Copies of this chain bind each other. A is one copy, B any other.
Amino acid sequence: MKIGILGPEGTFSETAAVLWLKGRRGGTIEHVELNYYETIVDVAESIVRKEVDYGIVPIENSLEGSVGETLDLLSSENNEGGMRIVGEILVPIRICLLAKQPLGKFDQNASQSFARIRKVVSHPHALAQCKQFIRERLKVKGVEVKPVESTAGAAKMAMEDEEVAALASEEAAKRYKLKILAEDVQDKESVTRFVALSSSFSSSDIETSPTGKDKTSLLLYLKDRPGALYEVLGEFAQRGINLTKIESRPSKRALGDYMFHIDCEGHLEEKEIKEVLEGVKRKVAMLKVLGSYPMAR
């Protein structure tokens, strides 16, 4: 089985892929190959081209909000390949400060290595999430801060230059044989929700059958009249169905024209959800079911 994720090796997407494989139904997998891509769009294209069986991409972070790029590639215009969501994975984002351990020195402790750092690199999001640590522990010492493509890419740079430290995952430390100089340096704990995507025709039925604790993701485009969203939400409220998320995204037609991404509790094959979808369909200009999948804990 091939899985497409954001590369290089050691990103939080890789952590998500490993977690997803552990919890996955449908029997043991003999051989798993991870394919690394540069962007979320590249991962999606690899699914549509059937270069991979699944793609795993971030969709939402508890501090930063939705990942627009992922929501947009599920929109009907961009999703002619018919990708659907077959799973979700929650990954706690714990960021570490990593650097290479200098050669030829023994008894090198963390605080000493700390003093040698001239530059700290990471993905802009990780830099944003570690603002306080950077200001109080690095900037005061004149350390230069530089945004790069990914946290794992940052770790790679740290591997090549002893004066460069990276803000990246524990996994990246292992992967690039770096020393963890400081752990949990993010300002605030956060969790990133990833989704597993597949092209409609390649998944087995076992994988997508109801578990009793599922979520269904919908994409809809409202009719242009006051109260349109209210009426749609009524279909859920009247049946006591809980929405776990509602998010507007630009339709890209005009400013103020939106699509809505809605996640609700329940499975597509359950009677109540079927009824809701029938009701919603009558009230919107476009409804697309992106998938039903087991709720992550």
A255-274 CB mask vs B (1 if < 8 Å, else 0) is: 11110000000000000000
User: How far, in angstroms, from A171 to B74 measured CA to CA in the complex?
Assistant: 36
Point out the residue from B147, B236, B247 that lies within 8 Å of A248, measured CB to CB: B247
* A106 → chain B closest CB, angstroms: 41
Q: How far is the CA of A244 from the CA of B257 in the complex (A)?
A: 9
The stretch of A63-71, A162-170, A178-186, A275-283 in contact with B is A63-71
Asked if residues B226 and A193 are in contact (CB atoms below 8 Å), the reply is: no
Report chain B residues within 8 Å CB of A237: 226-227, 230-231
**Interface residue? A90 (CB, 8 A):** yes
The answer on a CB contact under 8 Å between A250 and B68 is no
With both beta carbons as reference points, the residue of chain B lying nearest to A188 in the complex is identified as: B252
B229 touches A243 (CB 8 A): yes
A234 to B227, CA, bound (A): 8
Of residues 204 through 258 on chain A, the ones whose CB sits less than 8 Å from some CB of chain B are: 226-227, 229-231, 233-234, 236-237, 240-250, 252, 254-258
Contacts of A230 in B (CB 8 A): 230, 233-234, 236-237
From residue A67, how far is it (CB to closest CB) to chain B in Å?
11
Q: Assign chain A's interface to a size class.
A: 35 or more
- Most B Cβ at <10 Å: residue of A60, A188, A247: A247
Least Cβ–Cβ distance between A193 and chain B, in angstroms = 6
Question: A226 and B248 in contact (CB under 8 A), knowing A62-B255, A68-B65, A255-B191?
Answer: no
A38 to chain B minimum Cβ distance, whole angstroms, is 13
**Chain B contacts for A256, CB-based, 8 A:** 62, 244-245
Does A35 lie at the interface of the complex (its beta carbon under 8 Å from any beta carbon of B)?
no
Q: Indicate how many identical chains form the complex.
A: 2
A61 CB–B CB distance under 8 Å: yes
Which of B61, B147, B233, B236 has a CB less than 8 Å from the CB of A250? B61
User: B226 to A63, Cβ gap below 8 A?
Assistant: no
Listed residue (A226, A236, A240) with the most chain B CB atoms within 10 angstroms of its CB: A226
Closest to A62 in B: B255
Name the distance in Å between A240's Cβ and chain B's nearest Cβ: 6
Instruction: Mark out the residues of chain A between 181 and 204 whose CB falls within 8 Å of any chain B CB in the assembled complex.
Output: 188, 191, 193
Q: Report the minimum CB–CB distance from A162 to chain B (whole Å).
A: 25
19 chain-A/chain-B pairs, Cβ below 8 angstroms = A60-B250, A61-B250, A62-B252, A62-B256, A63-B252, A64-B250, A65-B68, A65-B248, A90-B255, A191-B255, A226-B243, A229-B233, A230-B230, A230-B233, A230-B234, A245-B248, A246-B258, A247-B247, A248-B248
